[in-house]
Chain A
Amino acid sequence: MLGSAEFGDTTVIADLEAGIGTLTRLADASIDIAVVVVEATPKSIDVGARAAAVARERGIGRVVVVANRARGGDDLARLRAAFPDTELVAVPDDPAIVAAERDGLAPLDTAPDAPAVRALVGLARSLA
């Protein structure tokens, strides 16, 4: 669908399955930006690095790494080292997100001023 439908001016945000399977099967030029969400664990960094590499091989021009549940400078330093020369946006570890997830509610509605939500608002603005 991403590769064949005509979306016009509509912004399409696709939440792909974990891993890189869907990314490898996307039709050429079907997305403009690949947002790779990683945590500061070796498992997540390894998967994120594979996803970023596939996105670049597929010719997706802009890869943005979101450092999710970042707890401070150490986490960000680790992620910057793992993704050099890549745009990186930090989303802090935030109990408001945990609470919203537990309740099955949208964090943007339940905690619009929480630090993690503000970081995501900033990400959305930077991509728009």
Chain B
Amino acid sequence: MRVAFVGKGGAGKSAIAGTFARLLARAGGPVLAIDSDPMPGLAHSLGVEVTDAPIPDDAVTERREGEEGPRFRLREGLTPVEAVERYAVRGPDGVRFLQFGKLRGPAWALAGSQFAFREIVAGLPDDGWSLVGDLPGGTRQAFFGWGSYARTVLVVVEPTAKSLLSARRLARLALGERPPERVVALANKIRGPADVDLVARRSGLDVVGAVPWDEALAEAERQGLPPVDAAPDSAAVAAVVSLLERLNEEQTR
């Protein structure tokens, strides 16, 4: 399975992506959680203690003057699969966690790590890892192909005017040159059936799941704990279980 969570900032992507990755890993098979947000977030929701884990400089070589191609490449002999083994942080339930580091200053400091990250993700074989991506809020990364490893793009949508506006823009991912197999909505922080209906009507997307507003999940976030550990019986985690079951079922059909 290859999925990526996108949406407006604050919509709940990281909490859901982290929970989804942990549940998928418990079901068996290797799972790689892919974090392309230059700000921290997903590590907390996964239960990984390291927040900043850039791919080290010695994993890449810089293009020489006059040479063609990208500015940085994985060093010769280092395959994407080996790079995951080396640099993806080990998390609970066997989840591996790959990121390009987190910003504390100008973005150029992470350039080598970012090139390596994209090369690794693009080069992973189809039959190996399940991929669960968490993109930063907004539309920019999504439209620049940072989630192009995903067959299913899940737009996390709150029932607010701002979140719905972002969702409508993200729906256009389906119209790109190399679109994912599908772009669907996951309604989040839902307080009643009318909210799901609103997301269905206004996002322009099929709604594949609805995660309720859940104090237990909010409290897990406040404590910086993964919802799947701190609130395993919560309605929100149950909704992510249902989402996973639905996507699994649709995949095998």
Contacts and interface: CB of A to CB of B under 8 A. Distances in A.
A103 B163 CA distance: 11
A65 B121 CA distance: 37
Contacts of A46: 39-40, 51
B162 A18 contact: no
A18 to B, nearest CB: 4
Contacts of B38: 19-21
Interface string B38-50: 1111001000000
Interface stretch (A5-13, A50-58, A84-92, A113-121): A50-58
B161 A102 contact: yes
A42 interface: yes
21 contacts: A18-B10, A18-B39, A18-B136, A19-B103, A20-B38, A21-B38, A21-B103, A24-B107, A25-B106, A41-B44, A42-B44, A42-B224, A43-B41, A43-B44, A46-B51, A47-B40, A47-B41, A50-B102, A54-B105, A57-B105, A101-B161
Contacts of B136: 18-19
B interface, how many residues as a size bin? Answer: 20 to 34
A24 B14 contact: no
B222 A102 contact: no
Nearest to A57: B105
B93 interface: no
Interface of B: 9-10, 14, 37-41, 44, 51, 102-107, 136-138, 159-162, 221-224
Chain A residues touching B, range: 20 to 34
Nearest to A104: B161
Contacts of B161: 101-104
A75 B226 CA distance: 19
A40 interface: yes
Contacts of B44: 41-43
Contact of B105 (A17, A19, A24, A102): A24
Nearest to A45: B224
A57 B10 CA distance: 27
B160 A101 contact: yes
